[in-house]
Amino acid sequence: MRLDKYISNATDLSRTEAKRLIKAGDVSIDAKMATSGSQKVSSDHSVTIDGSPITLLVDRYFMMNKPAGVVSATKDHSNPTAIDLIYEHRNQQLQIAGRLDIDTTGLLLITDDGQWNHIVTSPRTDCKKIYLVELENPVGDDYQKKLEEGIALEGEKRRCLPATMEVIDDHHIRLCISEGKYHQVKRMITSLGNEVLSLHRMQIGGIELDPELEPGDYRPLTADEIASIQ
């Protein structure tokens, strides 16, 4: 990696600022003064700024218990975002892996690993998402069959991938889908002739929402949780 890129990855500095420091002689590679931003460095090198070592950031992975009223985005003009609730260095580099509507609560995965994010969100990878759905009207007898056949959503050419459900009681189901179309669960339930009163995501792939997390809280994923997404 270029030295200027390495510095901007490892610190809050922009590449222009990094170049300025290199030019000023403030940066060293393996105790030798660096001369140019284009010099190549890797994690095997010891890079220092003003004598203080810097290290490349590794990808970060978090789960959040998203509260209602929070937008699944990096920036929003009128509402707090999930990223605003992440008190980490360089949080604007984090991305949400599978958005939730503003009124949906529950499991949100947040990472700066683009490839991992893709595995979570792509319909091709069959990464299951489980939602607790509160229904306005009682569960219909035909829901299971229609979900298994694939619901045809208004305005979509292709049917949804087959979904499964578990009835909890008359007005609550656990719904398992493997895609993330816009307002997918709400639109599926509407097309079954019912309405969603509340929606809560409980699980993504093998990762379950940690019951210890209060709404708005987050924690790093464990190595096993990260590896469970493949």
Residues assigned a catalytic role: 101
Would you tell me the crossing angle of helices 15-23 and 3-10 to the nearest 10 degrees?
A: 120
Considering the complex, what minimum distance in angstroms separates the CB of residue 197 from ligand URA?
12
Collapsing DSSP to helix, strand or coil, 189 comes out as helix
User: Which burial class, exposed, middle or buried, applies to 73 when counting CB atoms under 10 A from its CB (0-12, 13-18, 19+)?
Assistant: middle
Q: What angle do CA 204, 206, 212 make, to 5 degrees?
A: 80
Collapsing DSSP to helix, strand or coil, 195 comes out as coil
Considering the complex, what minimum distance in angstroms separates the CB of residue 113 from ligand URA?
22
Question: 104 or 178: whose CB is closer to ligand URA?
Answer: 104
Site string for ligand URA, 102-131 (x = CB under 6 A): --x---------------------------
Of 16-24, 41-49, 181-189, 206-214, the window that binds ligand URA (rule: CB under 6 A) is 181-189
185 binds ligand URA (CB under 6 A): yes
Among 128, 172, 186, 216, binds ligand URA (CB under 6 A): 186
Q: Would you say 228 and 120 are in contact if contact means Cβ atoms under 8 Å apart? A: no
* Region 41-60 residues binding ligand URA, contact defined as CB under 6 A: none
100 binds ligand URA (CB under 6 A): yes
Q: How many CA atoms lie within 13 A of 112 on its CB side?
A: 14
Q: Which residues bind ligand URA (CB under 6 A)?
A: 100-101, 104, 183-186, 199
